[in-house]
């Protein structure tokens, strides 16, 4: 689809001004809004799947009581039904120390496949950024515990060359886990602002909008969790 054909769709979307702003629509509503554009829909669904997996991880760890998945089913999120085949490890893969890393490794491989199939440069860059951040955190934790970092890295070949030293320092100094997660999401937001393909009116810009919207909803969940714990 030519960039011009996205002009009216993109200009009809409400601006996402800051990480603390109220999301103007649900993730599901955005997906419905672009359902007639396969070149944009598949990358957006792939991005939203990452949020489903984060909610699944939090639900299984007992950090939240209910998830609100978009791509996965409620049963898959609660680990009561098998995940899609593309989120499972290939038969020849070696076991991982952290079981959840199997799913994330498969997810990032899947996301990169979608990015290349749909020629979505934003999604490809996003995968590189997210893998680099995840592995920077894993490496920091492993070194702190005196463990071999290489045993905890996920798909390092997909990582972009990003320096997370400042983010790691702020995350390590956070007073509690929720504050640490907010540090990470601020870093994510800053990256999205720099890489949102604004005014290109291409499918990449729609994907970037979805990533921002997803992050706004996650920030609200974190904020509500913190408020509930204070009550």
- Output Rg (C-alpha) for the chain, integer angstroms: 18
Instruction: Report d(CA 104, CA 94) in Å as an integer.
Output: 14
Question: What is the sign, positive or negative, of the torsion defined by CA atoms of 114, 119, 123, 125?
Answer: positive
Would you mind telling me the total number of residues written for the chain in this entry? Answer: 231
pLDDT above 90 covers a percentage of the chain that reads 74
pLDDT tens, residue by residue, 88-124: 877 556 556 667 889 999 999 999 999 999 999 999 9
56-83 mean pLDDT: 93
Q: Going by C-beta distance under 8 Å and a sequence separation of 6 or more, which residues neighbour residue 158?
A: 108, 109, 112, 127, 128, 131
User: Chain-wide mean pLDDT for the chain?
Assistant: 91
Question: What is the sign, positive or negative, of the torsion defined by CA atoms of 76, 82, 86, 88?
Answer: positive
181-185 mean pLDDT: 94
Q: Are 104 and 121 in contact (CB under 8 A)?
A: no
pLDDT for 95 equals 57
* Weakest mean pLDDT among 70-79, 148-157, 192-201, 220-229: 220-229
pLDDT for 3 equals 53
130-154 mean pLDDT: 93
140-161 mean pLDDT: 93
163-176 mean pLDDT: 95
CA 117 to the chain's CA centroid:
19
Instruction: Report d(CA 120, CA 143) in Å as an integer.
Output: 35
Q: Is the pTM for the entire model greater than 0.85?
A: yes
166-177 mean pLDDT: 94
Furthest-apart CA atoms within the chain: distance in Å: 54
187-204 mean pLDDT: 93
Q: Both tokens of residue 192?
A: 């999205």
Q: Are 207 and 123 in contact (CB under 8 A)?
A: yes
pLDDT for 231 equals 55
User: Is residue 4 over pLDDT 70?
Assistant: no
Q: How confident is the model at residue 164 (pLDDT cuts 50, 70, 90)?
A: very high
pLDDT for 154 equals 93
167-192 mean pLDDT: 95
pLDDT tens, residue by residue, 23-51: 999 999 999 999 988 889 999 999 999 99
183-197 mean pLDDT: 96
User: Is residue 230 over pLDDT 70?
Assistant: no
């Amino acid at each position: 689809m030519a960039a011009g054909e996205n002009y009216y769709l993109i200009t009809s979307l409400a601006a996402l001004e800051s990480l603390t702003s109220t999301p103007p629509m649900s993730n599901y509503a955005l997906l419905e809004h672009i359902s007639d554009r396969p070149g944009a829909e598949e990358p957006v669904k792939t991005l939203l799947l990452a949020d489903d997996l984060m909610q699944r991880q939090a639900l299984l760890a007992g950090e939240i009581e209910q998830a609100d998945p978009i791509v996965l089913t409620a049963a898959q999120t609660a680990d009561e039904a098998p995940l899609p085949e593309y989120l499972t490890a290939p038969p020849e893969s070696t076991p991982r120390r952290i079981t959840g890393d199997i799913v994330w490794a498969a997810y990032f491989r899947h996301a990169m496949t979608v990015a290349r199939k749909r020629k979505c440069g934003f999604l490809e860059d996003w995968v590189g950024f997210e893998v680099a951040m995840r592995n920077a955190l894993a490496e920091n934790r492993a070194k702190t515990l005196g463990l071999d970092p290489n045993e905890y890295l996920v798909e390092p070949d997909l990582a972009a060359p990003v320096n997370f030293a400042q983010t790691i320092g702020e995350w390590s100094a956070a007073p509690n886990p929720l504050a640490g997660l907010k540090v990470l999401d601020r870093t994510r937001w800053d990256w999205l602002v720099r890489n949102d393909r604004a005014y290109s009116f291409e499918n990449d810009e729609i994907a970037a909008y979805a990533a921002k919207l997803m992050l706004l909803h996650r920030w609200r969940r974190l904020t509500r969790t913190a408020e509930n714990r204070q009550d």
